[in-house]
Structure 1
Amino acid sequence: MGAIERPAFSSEDRKRIYEYVERHGTVKRHKLREIVELPTSEFETHLDALTADGYLREDDGTLQLALEFGAIETYEENGFEFTIRPARQRDFEGLVETIRDVTAEETYVVAETIAEELLYENAVNRHNTVKSRMFFVATVAGDVVGWTHLDLPQVEQVRGTAQQTVGVKETHRGHGIGGKLLARGIEWAEANGYRKVYNSIPVVNDGALEFLTMHGWDTEAIRRNHYTIDGEHVDEVMMAYEI
């Protein structure tokens, strides 16, 4: 199942099973069976269909969304190796830690909001009839050190645009990780028919604004006094990349 496809189900029971997994990130097969309160044969039939249709996947008895985000890619620069891949639920703690590491060093309000959403929902990827959220992560020796996130609205009028965030831990900068993450998100958006991605940055975050500008992003709009940071009103710079 692609993240731009609106979920559709042939029965309410099948929808109920999918929505529970979608809201909770992962769930053990036997626990899900107890929660949905269906006869075993019906439960197995619905679950097999959801798996066959690409809505859910199962790893060692644990169910999660089966969104198709792309391949795993490994890069090496002067002996430094990192991997960029689709994020999974098992990346939850490392992802939140990485976002908070970045936002502790620089003002990135949208990323802070994403971290809070992750903690509130306890789910990395979301995909329902209202919106879809996906992440790619950068890892070094298996540890998450960077991310890029795409927020993908399902409402028809705005389905051509996506919000993107990106960040790398300060200890792992200088190796091109941020540029690769940014490009990976844009490449995915282009391959899936999006015409524009945007990123909203406080004007005081000079590093992020310079980074996006260097990678071909343009200032689309400025919202005056949009944030209150350290008691001061601060403008928001809305950056965009036309695909």
Structure 2
Amino acid sequence: MSVHPTLSFDTELQRAVYEYVERNGAVEPDELARSIQLESEPAHSKPARSGSYTESICPSMDDLESCLEALQTQGYLAESDGKFRVALSTTPITVDLEDGTVTIRAAQEEDRRGVIDTMRAVAREGTYIVAENVATQLEGESALVRANEDRSRVFFVAVFEPSAAADDEDGTADDADGDARVVGWLHIDANELPSLSHTAELTVGVAADMRHDGIGSQLLEYGLEWAKNAGYRKVYQNVPATNEGAIEFLEANGWQREGEHEDQYRIDDAFVDEIMLATWP
């Protein structure tokens, strides 16, 4: 599914279910059954003098199950771990490291804390203004992924899972699943203006202790491949000139400088230029 979906539903129930899941990120069927209500005319009742009136009713479980099946078939929703989420057409990839594995995949709502913490840690290192602002927005929002006609945003994550041997050497538990953590993110935010809908802003970063293994480059390639398939023609990112690491990383991966804004930021009482970079997937 594109981040700018053309939403077309067969029934009002499908629209209501999709919109609820999209707003809340990850939803169990029981919550949908309690929360979704549709307007219906009461049976065997006389209309009010001012005209007909309606009442709110919950759909039957049979209707809800059929609706969820249809939304999955149409590619709007996907189910995992007993919860329904906005569907993203991606296939996870795994990178083998000496002390474990890194899986690059679409982010899930459960990754929120890890994404925010990683973004803030990376932003503190290199004055990554945009990433810091995105992390702040996520603190107050109800869903990582937004895919509606007014808002468009997607996240991908790199999740590190240490091997059992690495756990033993560190003296930690053998249960590697409990040690899995988000060590990198990539975020794509589409412009809301129709004339700029072919463009998207991107941020990307990897935790300091996980660099130099090519994770950042593979995460970037993964996200740009998705952006290309979703129909984006141009992806851009603006960073302070003092963030030399980010600029070098992007240029090493084929990004081009488009220009700069002089004295765009004030950081530690010093005025700093903003470097504009872009790539065409």
TM-score (norm 2): 0.79
**Corresponding residue for residue 243 of structure 2:** 205
Q: Kindly tell me: are residues 26 and 81 of structure 1, through their superposed partners in 2, closer, same or farther at Cα, counting changes over 3 Å? A: closer
Cα separation, 1, equivalents of 2:249 and 2:258: 16
Q: CA deviation at 1:48?
A: 3.0
Question: 1:146-165 maps to which residues of 2 (within 5 A)?
Answer: 146-153=184-191, 155-165=193-203
Question: 1:22-101 maps to which residues of 2 (within 5 A)?
Answer: 22-37=22-37, 38-40=58-60, 41-68=62-89, 70-77=90-97, 81-101=101-121
Cα separation, 1, equivalents of 2:268 and 2:63: 56
- Cα distance per residue 1:1-38 (max 9 Å; x no partner): 34343222233332222111111111221122111232
Structure 1, unaligned stretches of length 5 or more?
none
Matched residue count = 242
Cα separation, 2, equivalents of 1:28 and 1:5: 23
Q: CA deviation at 1:180?
A: 1.1
**Does the 8 A contact of 1:23 with 1:121 survive in 2?**
no
**Corresponding residue for residue 10 of structure 1:** 10
Q: Kindly tell me: are residues 43 and 241 of structure 1, through their superposed partners in 2, closer, same or farther at Cα, counting changes over 3 Å? A: same
Amino acid at match of 1:6: T
**Corresponding residue for residue 190 of structure 1:** 228
Q: Which has the larger radius of gyration?
A: 2
Question: 1:220-239 maps to which residues of 2 (within 5 A)?
Answer: 220-239=258-277
Larger displacement relative to structure 2 (200-209 or 50-59): 50-59
* SS of match in other structure, 2:209: helix
Q: CA deviation at 1:154?
A: 5.5
Cα separation, 1, equivalents of 2:239 and 2:59: 51
Q: CA deviation at 1:101?
A: 1.4
Q: Kindly tell me: are residues 123 and 54 of structure 1, through their superposed partners in 2, closer, same or farther at Cα, counting changes over 3 Å? A: same
Structure 2, unaligned stretches of length 5 or more?
38-57, 162-179
* SS of match in other structure, 1:175: coil
Cα separation, 2, equivalents of 1:229 and 1:90: 33
Amino acid at match of 1:34: R
1:104 aligned to 2:124?
Answer: yes
Larger displacement relative to structure 2 (163-172 or 34-43): 34-43
Larger displacement relative to structure 2 (218-227 or 195-204): 218-227
Q: Kindly tell me: are residues 83 and 47 of structure 1, through their superposed partners in 2, closer, same or farther at Cα, counting changes over 3 Å? A: closer
1:134 aligned to 2:146?
Answer: no
* SS of match in other structure, 1:121: coil
TM-score (norm 1): 0.90
Cα separation, 2, equivalents of 1:62 and 1:213: 39
Q: Kindly tell me: are residues 63 and 230 of structure 1, through their superposed partners in 2, closer, same or farther at Cα, counting changes over 3 Å? A: same
Q: Kindly tell me: are residues 67 and 154 of structure 1, through their superposed partners in 2, closer, same or farther at Cα, counting changes over 3 Å? A: farther
**Corresponding residue for residue 208 of structure 2:** 170
Percent identity between the aligned chains? 41
